[in-house]
Amino acid sequence: MGNCSFGSAKCANASSSSHSGNSLHGSNISRKRNPINAAGSFSSFENDSTSPSVSLKSFTLNDLKSATKNFRSDSYLGEGGFGVVFKGWIDENSCAPTKPGVGMVVAIKRLRQESFQGHKEWLTEVTYMGQLCHKNLVKLIGYCSESNNKLLVYEYMHKGSLDNHLFKRGSQPLSWAMRVNIAIDVAHGLSFLHSLDTQVIYRDLKASNILIDSEFNAKLSDFGLARNGPTGDMTHVSTRVVGTHGYAAPEYIATGHLSVKSDIYSFGVVLLELLSGRLALHDGRGAMKDTLVDWAMPFLKDRRRMLRIMDTRLEGRYSKKGAYAMAALAMKCLHSDLKVRPNIGEVLVALEQLRLPVKEAAARQICSPG
């Protein structure tokens, strides 16, 4: 990453490469990442000379075709604004493609070729994830770059994304204790990014970018929109507004001023999703107003009515005290005054108090896995 310093968090060095393309991608405004408006200029790495880190494995397209049975539909895991995600198998040591069931399972994200903006995001992802490692960030194992074919190979997250658990019909509801733990994991991931020598603003925090492993640990994925935070006395960086409706902070949408407090706002939205089991953005059905924040705010402000936002799938099995505390924290994170929004350290302190000792959680029957 050029001259950025990641201090002790630095995992590997980047060398150099160039990249171009600046058109916008995506048109599904309700659930997928979207440019919120097209003002200003994208500037994630515009001053940095950068290329994939040496610690990442470089795959050929043929490797990844073999690992996914030629991107066959039965390897399909999901799809987002960037492209389609497939399940694949590689050897743990050599990273050579293997047969399904042999070696290590990975998730392979294939960039939709027509997406110019996606090429930029691919490079941003490779650059950040080649240098950052933390237990609450999804590990990028490698990449493929063969002319217009751009792919990313990640550790496989067995339980998929948080949105599937919270919103998908038929999924097993998450217990209260699991929701608290997920919030804490996400806050740890953000805390890592915000505490680096050169702060990193994640910029795309949302339930679909929070992935869950087999032990229900949560990790942040998708660093395509991440960018370095302000330096010196600056409180924000000015940037084109990108992100996802329903999660992006209002002052960022209005001014393009991006700060770590923009991530805190999005974190507040995720807390509301964990509390309510409702989508951040109105899906066109039901009585909810445009965004979850608009809908929930009157309830959050009135303690007598606050519990009405709680996810009915919890069936009342949650700590009321904990729910009030999480709601109060969400309100602070969503505050319009950036100075009132807590920093991520304060968020973590508040959340850690909600974590129930395992025995107590078991006694209250709110710690059942799955």
Q: What is the contact surface with ligand ATP in residues (CB under 6 A)? A: 32-33, 77-82, 85, 107, 109, 138, 154, 156-157, 160-161, 208-209, 211, 221-222
Q: E strands within 112-266?
A: 140-146, 149-155, 200-201, 210-212, 218-220, 227-228, 237-238, 242-243, 257-258
> Shortest distance, CB of residue 279 to ligand ATP, whole angstroms?
12
Residue 224 contacts Mg ion per CB under 5 A: no
Which listed range, 206-214, 241-249, 286-294, 319-327, lies at the site for Mg ion (CB under 5 A)?
Answer: 206-214
- Which does residue 292 touch among ligand ATP, Mg ion, none (CB within 5 to 8 A, set by kind)? none
Residue 80 contacts Mg ion per CB under 5 A: yes
Report the run of H or E that residue 107 belongs to, with start and end: strand 104-111
> Shortest distance, CB of residue 81 to Mg ion, whole angstroms?
8
In this complex, which beta carbon is closest to ligand ATP, that of residue 132 or of residue 138? 138
Residue nearest to Mg ion (CB): 222
Which listed range, 91-99, 130-138, 205-213, 270-278, lies at the site for Mg ion (CB under 5 A)?
Answer: 205-213
Q: Is 204 considered catalytic here?
A: yes
Q: How far apart are the first and last CA of the chain?
A: 40
Q: Give the C-alpha separation, 134 to 218, whole Å.
A: 12
How many helices (H) and strands (E) would you count in the chain? 11, 14
Single-letter residue type at 242: V
The DSSP code sequence of 39-70 is -S---SSTT-----BTTSEEPPHHHHHHHTTT
The annotation status of 301 as a binding-site residue, yes or no, is no
> Shortest distance, CB of residue 366 to ligand ATP, whole angstroms?
26
C-alpha 132: how far from chain center = 14
**Residues between 170 and 199 with contacts to Mg ion, criterion CB under 5 A:** none
94 burial (CB, 10 Å; 0-12 / 13-18 / 19+) is exposed
Residue 124 contacts Mg ion per CB under 5 A: no
Of the listed 185, 204, 222, 311, which one is catalytic?
A: 204
**What positions carry a catalytic annotation?**
204
